[in-house]
């Protein structure tokens, strides 16, 4: 059985809801013939989010890890390609931290690529009528911090985990507060997340052949 870890952040920036967590929560306890899902909520806080993520990875021992984050202003399911070694917060996080021009990990590489099959994912999302694109910037707030920390942890510990980060738009009720902001229905986001999981597995047939181990 393939274990899938999904994470979403708590609300931040004055919002009362985070679509990332709402979407992840919709798949809580999901178990199919091929995979099972474990979910974790992470705080929108520098460093603390990584501590919680690493505990989740240790607890779940996932084969696939997908982290979601809110990106107000985006109109598509944004599958991130690269995380960069930079914290540069436009606003404070939920604990008031606002690092400017600091490293996620001192001495770490400039960036990490995702290990998800992002082109196949975006192709399938579009085929199933979920607006989607590959994104080349995860920003420099806690989302990028988490994405970089995720890939750094996997690389440094030589873990056999396919992993990456996805940004999603506001929910309609959030966008309604801001003139002209795009949004995406929760059902569509959840559909996109399921497609992402299924496409990742479909592009890793050796997972099934090896009884759940990604090589």
CA distances from 113 to 5, 151, 173, 189 (A): 19, 8, 33, 23
Closest among 199, 164, 171, 182 to 35, alpha carbons compared: 199
**CA–CA distance, 124 with 172 (Å, rounded to integer):** 24
Catalytic residues, by residue number, are 80, 143, 167
To the nearest 10 degrees (0 to 180), the angle between helices 186-202 and 118-127 is 130
**CA–CA distance, 168 with 37 (Å, rounded to integer):** 19
Beta bridge partners of 42: 9
């Amino acid at each position: 059985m393939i274990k899938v870890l999904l994470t979403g952040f708590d609300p931040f920036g004055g919002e009362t809801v985070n679509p990332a967590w709402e979407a992840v929560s919709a798949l809580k306890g999901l178990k199919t013939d091929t995979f099972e899902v474990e979910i974790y909520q992470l705080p929108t806080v520098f460093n603390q989010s990584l501590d919680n993520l690493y505990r989740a990875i240790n607890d779940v021992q996932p084969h696939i890890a997908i982290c979601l984050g809110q990106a107000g202003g985006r109109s598509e399911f944004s599958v991130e390609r690269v995380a960069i070694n930079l914290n540069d917060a436009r606003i404070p996080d939920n604990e008031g931290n606002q690092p400017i021009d600091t490293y996620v990990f001192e001495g770490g590489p400039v960036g990490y690529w995702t290990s998800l099959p992002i082109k196949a994912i975006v192709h399938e999302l579009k085929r199933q009528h979920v607006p989607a694109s590959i994104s080349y910037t995860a920003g420099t707030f806690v989302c990028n911090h988490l994405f970089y920390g995720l890939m750094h942890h996997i690389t440094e510990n030589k873990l056999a985990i396919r992993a990456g980060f996805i940004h999603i738009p506001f929910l309609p009720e959030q966008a309604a507060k801001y003139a002209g902001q795009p949004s995406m229905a929760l059902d569509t986001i959840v559909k996109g997340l399921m497609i992402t999981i299924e496409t990742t597995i479909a592009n890793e047939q050796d997972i099934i052949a090896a009884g759940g181990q990604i090589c």
